[in-house]
Amino acid sequence: MPGTTERPLRRDAQANRERLVAAALDAFAEGGVDVPMDEVARRAGVGVGTIYRNFPAKDDLVDAVLEDAIDRLVAILERALALDDAWEGFRLYLEHALDLHARNRGLKELFAARGTGRARKRMGPLAVRLISRAQEQGALRPDFKAEDLRLVFRSAGAVIEYDPSSRRRFVALLLDGLKAGR
Amino acid sequence: MPGTTERPLRRDAQANRERLVAAALDAFAEGGVDVPMDEVARRAGVGVGTIYRNFPAKDDLVDAVLEDAIDRLVAILERALALDDAWEGFRLYLEHALDLHARNRGLKELFAARGTGRARKRMGPLAVRLISRAQEQGALRPDFKAEDLRLVFRSAGAVIEYDPSSRRRFVALLLDGLKAGR
DNA sequence: AGATAAGCGGAACGATAGTTCCGCTTATGG
DNA sequence: CCATAAGCGGAACTATCGTTCCGCTTATCT
């Protein structure tokens, strides 16, 4: 069991796999996760068959791309936690994470449909810390739950999809309503 | 031109048409506008051909159902405008309209994708009145625009779709942020 | 009741997806 | 440089839709 012998990929195969994930990231960002596999293959300069040798099904490719997005979100979370002012950290996280969503149409769908498993595991603890810290400092409403973060992203994501230019205004509105003490 | 002779429908055809719209309303409410035509036909107890004799394309059926939904929303708007307290009217409209959305999955998609033409024409003026009235009474933020109503519905719709039980809480949050004077 | 045309059901069609398969290409190790 | 197997491309298969078509049914009128 500890030695699942994993022969290394041929050099060209390795390169293809990388170009594939990059192409999928771009394609999903532009057109959402519903872009056809043929389109992803075309962008990567490979045939569809190559996709399926690396990823058994489309969902697996989507997962791989999601994993990449999670990396970036975790980085933002860590940056937010490094700030002394917890409210400022909370605000910074929302602002930057939603900026990512605004630039990546697929990301919203990814987190809306999936995003429960891997994402929660890696981001959940950090987010909980961000929230409770802001509440301890008396800046964030005490009745705000960690799960509510998903509602915030859902609602903001929908707004962004409809009219990206109103993102800042909407986020400001939400934050205003989330501040502690009326 | 003024006399486009319109022979009346055969009695059974008339009944079928009505059952069809009702079935479509149900089907869209449950499964969204993406339910197959076969499913709508099955629910109505007719063949797909019958749908296409009444509605040239699926979009036309969707429009017919949307028209019905608009009727209800207009009724709610009128009820809201009848109240003396403009803020209370605004609140009542949001509450009831979103309750409709919560019960009808298709409605959200309908308004998200379409809803621009017919809906705006019939509901727009009433909504504008509702808003400016609330602003004149000093209850609603002066910078709230009529178009922002769409953002409110978008965001709340997304929340409802994810977790219907958090609707009231989210609407309260939004309303809190929309109240005039901090 | 019988003639007639409006109306009907549902098989079949065309488009678009995701996925599979197999003959050819090419990186790799000796 | 050759043998070999890993890897590749993309045609073809399957499933799901919206939509069309046509032979049969039935409401309507005399």
Residue B166: which of A112, A151, A176 has the nearest Cβ? A151
Instruction: Give yes or no for CB of A10 within 7 Å of strand D.
Output: yes
A14: the nucleotide nearest its CA (via C1') is D7
Interatomic CA distance for residues B70 and B127, integer angstroms = 13
Query: Which residue bears the tokens 């490719």?
Result: A61
Q: What is the CATH number of domain A9-56?
A: 1.10.10.60
The torsion defined by the Cα of A82, A96, B157 and B112, in degrees rounded to 10, comes to -170
Q: Which residues of B72-87 are buried (b: 16+ CB within 10 A; e: fewer)?
A: ebeebbeebbebeebb
Task: Express each pLDDT in B51-89 by its tens digit.
Answer: 999 999 999 999 999 888 889 999 999 999 999 999 999
**Mean pLDDT across chain B:** 91
Strand C-contacting residues in B 34-53, CB cut-off 7 angstroms? 45-50, 52-53
Given an 8 Å threshold on Cβ–Cβ distance, is B173 in contact with A176? no
Angle formed by the axes of helices A58-81 and A11-31, nearest 10° = 80
Which pLDDT score is estimated for B3?
Answer: 45
Identify all chain B residues contacting A109, using CB atoms and an 8 Å cutoff.
none
Tell me the per-residue pLDDT of A98-140, one tens digit each, with 9 for 90 and over. 999 999 998 888 887 766 677 788 899 999 999 999 999 999 9
Q: Is the CB of A7 under 7 A from strand C?
A: no
- Grade residue B121 by pLDDT with cuts at 50, 70 and 90: confident
Map tokens 């004149």 to a residue: B136
Question: How far is the alpha carbon of A11 from chain B, nearest alpha carbon, in Å?
Answer: 44
Judged by C1' against the alpha carbon of A8, the nearest nucleotide is D6
Strand D at less than 7 A from CB of B12: yes
Averaged pLDDT for residues B142-167: 93
Q: Does the pLDDT at position B9 exceed 90? A: no
d(C-alpha B72, C-alpha B97), whole Å? 9
In chain B, CATH 1.10.357 sits at 58-178
User: Which residue from B151, B161, B170 is facing A162, i.e. has the nearest CB?
Assistant: B151
In order of A60, A89, A134, A142, B40, the CA distances from A137 in angstroms are 41, 12, 5, 10, 54
Domain with CATH 1.10.10.60 in chain A: 9-56
Q: B144: pLDDT confidence band, cut at 50, 70 and 90?
A: very high
Determine the residue type at B23: A
Å: B21 CA to C17 C1': 29
| Residue among A154, A74, A168 nearest A121 (CA) | A74
Strand C–CB A144 distance below 7 A: no
Query: CB distance B162–A173 less than 8 Å?
Result: no
Instruction: Give the pLDDT confidence of B11-53 residue by residue, as tens digits.
Output: 999 999 999 999 999 999 999 999 999 999 999 999 999 999 9
| CATH class for the domain made up of B58-178 | mainly alpha
For residue B16, give Cα distances in angstroms to B32, B41, B46. 22, 10, 8
Low pLDDT (below 50) residues in chain A: 1, 3
Q: Which nucleotide is nearest to A15 (CA to C1')?
A: D7
* Tokens linked to B94: 């949001």
Alpha helices in chain B (DSSP H): 11-31, 37-44, 48-54, 58-82, 86-103, 105-113, 117-136, 148-162, 167-178
Q: Which residues of A touch B166 (CB under 8 A)?
A: 148, 151
Percent of chain B past pLDDT 90, that is, above it, reads 77
Count of pairs with CB atoms under 8 A, one residue in A, one in B: 50
Across B107-129, b (16+ Cβ under 10 Å) vs e yields bbbbbbeebeeebeeebeebbeb
Tell me how far apart the alpha carbons of residues A60 and A73 are, in angstroms, rounded to a whole number.
Answer: 20
Q: In angstroms, how far is CA B46 from the centroid of its own chain? A: 26
